[in-house]
Amino acid sequence: SSHFGSSEFWWKSRTAAMMVAMGTSSRRPKLKVGLLVSLGVVFILRCLHDVPSAVGFVTGPTSRKDRQTSTVARNGVDKALKERIVSVQKTGKLTDAMRLVAAAKVRRAQDGVIKSRPFSDELTSMIKGLVKKLKGSGLEAELPMLRVPEKVKSVAIVLFTGDRGLCGGYNSFNIKKAKFRIEALNKEGIKPKLIWVGKKGRLAQKTKLQGVDFEDTGKQFKMPDTITSTGANEIGEEVRSLFLSGEVDKVEVIYAKFVNLLTSESQIRSVLPLSATGIEDPEDETFKMTSEDGKLKVEKEKRKSPKAKEIESDVIFDQPPETILNSMLPLYLNSQLLSILFESSASELSARMNAMKAATDNAQEVAKALTSVYNKKRQAAITQEISEISVGALALEDASRPE
């Protein structure tokens, strides 16, 4: 019986050991699966952390980690400085393109002056012929646009400026000229009425035109990119209505007379009343833009005054000569205003050319200076790395020597 009891105990012990072994072997696959899943989760989180979170316009994908680091990147390269150099270079290209556009528009203004010249010459010749024929007949009394008042009590000023900036001192010079003229009229007890051509003049009322007394008529005309007779007619109708209605005794214009590509002069010119004897501009001249050795230049040519057209004594007029002349004078006024528009446009565009040329040169100088600083920083970083490598190599060499 004792032998049977010991055998039963041995059998139960073996059975329990086998069951424990079987349980352990069944848990091993579950443990492996758990470890694999954990490793996979860690890998995915690491990848998500390194995924680019922003895409730069110039530099391409950038990660969140890169954006949070210093502006000085690895390998001695100053990223912020590099971006600034690229920005300055792009600005230089933009200003150079604006200079070329202004040069093309100056040529367009030149073509407009040449095309409008024949009509202006023929009209001036005919008016002078009629004035010569009617000389001594009390012409001024019959034609309102030629009537000169005994005393000037009111004046209208047409101020020509640009609609945009970025043209150097073009607008400022014209506005200062207007201010000086208004101050002179105020001393004579005259409060002038102002008509604006271009936005910049009217915008200067509360800045550069402060301290002078004038009346804003509220009439503003756009300075067109393409000069046409329509714009000159609109300005002519406004100043003519002011003069003929008796609101003003004199009309003056302040504009920039084109001298050359580097210079323009702000001038004051009376357009009403017209003079029966000096109907033409004594300083009339034309300009022609050419290029020589890749550089733009302007050739100016003095224009001779058109001669009076000879009208035979036996010519029979369908209408009285005074009526014919009275209908021609508005056309002459419009042609003069058209010429002033061309002069103002050429002066503005040449000033913009010079301003953009100066901006382009400055951008190149700034880019050159920044590039020099960038290269010095890069050289210093490379020199430091080489020095550290050399020092490390010497230290290893000294450590390997036997004492």
Residues with a catalytic annotation lie at: 167
Angle in degrees, 0-180, between the axes of helices 79-133 and 321-400, rounded to the nearest 10: 170
Nearest to 281 by CA among 325, 216, 353, 333: 333
- The gap from C-alpha 334 to its chain's centroid, in whole angstroms, comes to 30
- ω into 273 cis (within 30 of 0): yes
DSSP letters, 325-344, are HHHHHHHHHHHHHHHHHHHH
Place of tokens 């040529």: 107
SS3 296: strand
Question: What are the residues whose beta carbons fall under 8 Å from the beta carbon of 380, sequence distance 6 or more?
Answer: 76
In whole angstroms, what is the distance from residue 320 CA to residue 384 CA?
A: 97
Nearest to 86 by CA among 381, 376, 374: 374
Helix, strand, coil fractions of the chain, as percent rounded to 5: 60, 15, 25
Calculate Rg over the CA atoms of the chain: 43
Q: Which residues of 199-229 are buried (b: 16+ CB within 10 A; e: fewer)?
A: bbbbebeeebbeebebeebebebebeeebeb
Instruction: Copy the structure tokens of residue 246.
Output: 């008796």
What lies within 8 Å, CB to CB, of 354 at 6+ separation is 168, 261, 262
Q: What number of CA atoms fall less than 13 Å from residue 329's CA on the CB side?
A: 25
Contact 163, 200 (CB under 8 A): yes
Please tell me the distance from the alpha carbon of residue 305 to that of residue 124, in angstroms, as a whole number.
9
